[in-house]
């Protein structure tokens, strides 16, 4: 017996693999195997493809308003999503919304937060059963719809991709020094005590430690850390004409350790408060047709809403009634322009999720594997103004038939082609002073009294099927003598993708913009982290502004109580 123990001892001392210690991953793999081999109703097809996603989150947030704490909370959760397909790669149950867009989403649910093998399997078993019944129904409906409509152009529903195994070591949750964070948000929110034009405000800090686990029936698996941190400053003001304007400054980082110093956040909060206070005294804008200079956030938002969104979401779901498509924001409007010029010849664009920082700023859009288990690489999107590629998931379209590792989603939505780290490069650049000079020269050529600078747009959540570019939050008239005048209540009109080709000059400094891109479906809209690295200013030759159609509200009868003291 002793010799046998001596022979086994080296084996017992060998460290177990990362996967061998992961009871959650074991449960996912084993229940997926049972689902694939045994889940079928009599006389019905079984699944040909299944994937499981389990996401663990530890969240901490603290919020304050006007120097006083609103909330301080910590939560721990585990959620699971099951995608199950009936049929075959060429035609399956996916991508059919039918008459109910509310149900067009993976089957999701909560799971126990402890790493109990049997409990995790039980949660996945229940979700798989629901997903199977739904997929059978969707497959029959989709097949009938295809035959009724006589659809001939079918490009397949699931591309073949390489099997992937990526298992990162799970790092411990960061410490949340509650008292320190509470003190910070109190101080940050008290900034608004100096700005009587702001009617309401809130400051929030959030930190999330997240681990995503994924397995599919093709043998791919991953376990990745997906931490994130956020800083939000919200405010509402009312213009002299009575128009209410609410907006928030957002800063995002890939981890809690990337949150900058209190001094930097105070500067951000103070700058935003000052601008929102300025809107309370700013005159209404007017009809304008002329050059527009997009600076800072607006430069990235201009590129994000027109270009990046235009090459995202290349595949549209089928709906029983076209009216239901109002719940769909849009498929990428530039997707069918592959091979055509979409930007000036001096601009090129690529996406590289592997980059972790740019210009010294951590990139929120970094990831090592996409939501479908495909590893991304550097993707050339636009070369010398010509569109070469769009963001692809495993759902083929006419122009592109395979994934490029950009299937991304929140747990509440199906993966679709979306950005990671977008790098916009220009060969026609100038310093900021020269760019501003050129702006005024273009205005003079058109015999205009002033030009327009936009430094922030409303978020893309305000966009609909007819609107490609959100209205400005902060826009200035710039007169020939250099004087600037903040204006309010204007929005773009007649914007098409032509605006991208009308860029005439860019700055020579990069600007890093971390944000969260909204998904395509209004009823199950998630968000994914992305980054845009673009010239800090973009000059467009001609755009049109008009006064907003929104109706004004009456001003409060009493003053803000703090400022009436």
Which of 304, 255, 316 shows the shortest CA–CA distance to 517? 304
Measure the CA–CA gap between 106 and 108, rounded to whole angstroms.
6
Measure the CA–CA gap between 312 and 352, rounded to whole angstroms.
15
Question: What is the predicted pLDDT for the residue at 4?
Answer: 34
Question: What is the predicted pLDDT for the residue at 565?
Answer: 67
Question: What is the predicted pLDDT for the residue at 330?
Answer: 67
Measure the CA–CA gap between 155 and 150, rounded to whole angstroms.
15
Q: What is the pTM of this model?
A: 0.94
Question: What is the predicted pLDDT for the residue at 49?
Answer: 98
Question: What is the predicted pLDDT for the residue at 464?
Answer: 77
Which parts of 38-126 are beta strand (E)? 49-65, 68-85, 87-88, 91-92, 96-98, 107-110
Which of 208, 253, 271, 206 shows the shortest CA–CA distance to 232? 206
234, 246 Cβ separation under 8 angstroms: yes
Question: What is the predicted pLDDT for the residue at 127?
Answer: 98
Q: In the chain, which residues have pLDDT < 70? A: 1-20, 327, 329-330, 565
Which of 249, 232, 251, 242 shows the shortest CA–CA distance to 279? 242
Question: What is the predicted pLDDT for the residue at 321?
Answer: 78
Q: What is the pLDDT of residues 437-458, one digit of tens each?
A: 999 999 999 999 999 999 999 9
């Amino acid at each position: 017996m002793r010799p046998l123990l001596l022979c086994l001892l080296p084996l017992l001392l060998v460290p177990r693999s990362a996967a061998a210690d992961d009871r959650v991953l074991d449960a996912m793999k084993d229940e997926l195997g049972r689902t694939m081999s045994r889940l079928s109703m009599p006389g019905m097809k079984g699944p040909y493809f299944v994937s499981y996603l389990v996401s663990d989150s530890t969240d901490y947030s603290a919020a304050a308003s006007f120097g006083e704490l609103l909330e301080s909370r910590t939560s721990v959760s585990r959620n699971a999503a099951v995608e199950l397909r009936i049929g075959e790669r060429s035609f399956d149950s996916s991508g059919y919304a039918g008459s109910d867009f509310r149900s067009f989403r993976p089957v999701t649910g909560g799971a126990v937060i402890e790493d109990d093998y049997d409990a995790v399997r039980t949660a996945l078993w229940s979700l798989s059963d629901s997903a199977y019944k739904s997929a059978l129904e969707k497959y029959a409906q989709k097949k009938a719809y295809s035959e009724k409509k006589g659809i001939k152009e079918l490009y397949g529903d699931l591309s073949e991709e390489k099997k992937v195994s990526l298992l990162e070591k799970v790092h411990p949750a960061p410490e949340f020094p509650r008292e320190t964070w509470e003190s910070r948000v109190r101080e940050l929110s008290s900034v608004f005590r100096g700005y009587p034009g702001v009617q309401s405000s809130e400051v929030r800090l959030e930190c999330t430690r997240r681990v995503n686990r994924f397995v599919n029936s093709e043998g791919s698996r991953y376990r990745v850390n997906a931490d994130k941190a956020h800083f939000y400053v919200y405010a509402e003001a009312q213009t002299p004409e009575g128009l209410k304007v609410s907006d928030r400054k957002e800063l995002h980082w890939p981890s809690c350790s990337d949150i900058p110093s209190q001094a930097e956040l105070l500067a951000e909060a103070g700058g935003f408060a000052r601008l929102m206070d300025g809107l309370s005294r700013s005159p209404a804008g007017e009809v304008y047709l002329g050059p527009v200079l997009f600076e800072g956030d607006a430069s990235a938002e201009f590129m994000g809403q027109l270009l990046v969104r235009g090459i995202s979401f290349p595949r549209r779901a089928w709906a029983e009634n076209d009216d239901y498509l109002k719940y769909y924001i849009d498929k990428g409007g530039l997707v069918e322009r592959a091979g055509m010029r979409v930007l000036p010849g001096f601009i090129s664009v690529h996406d590289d999720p592997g980059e972790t920082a740019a210009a010294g700023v951590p990139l929120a859009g970094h990831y090592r594997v996409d939501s479908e288990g495909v590893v991304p690489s550097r993707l050339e999107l636009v070369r010398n103004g010509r569109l070469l590629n769009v963001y692809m998931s495993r759902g083929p379209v006419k122009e592109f038939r395979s994934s490029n590792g950009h299937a991304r989603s929140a747990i509440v939505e199906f993966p679709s082609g979306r950005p990671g780290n977008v790098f916009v490069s220009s060969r026609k650049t100038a310093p900021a002073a020269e760019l501003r000079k050129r702006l005024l020269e273009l205005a003079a050529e058109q015999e205009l009294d002033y030009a327009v600078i936009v430094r922030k747009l409303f978020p893309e959540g305000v966009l609909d099927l007819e609107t490609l570019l959100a209205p400005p939050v902060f826009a200035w008239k710039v007169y020939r003598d250099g004087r600037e005048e903040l204006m309010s209540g204007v929005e773009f009109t007649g914007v098409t993708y032509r605006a991208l080709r009308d860029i005439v000059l860019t700055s020579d400094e990069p600007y890093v913009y971390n944000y969260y891109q909204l998904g395509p479906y209004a009823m199950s809209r998630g968000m994914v982290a992305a980054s845009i690295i673009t010239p800090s200013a973009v000059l467009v030759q001609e755009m049109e502004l008009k006064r907003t159609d929104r109706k004004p509200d009456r001003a409060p009868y009493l003053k803000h109580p703090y400022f009436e003291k």
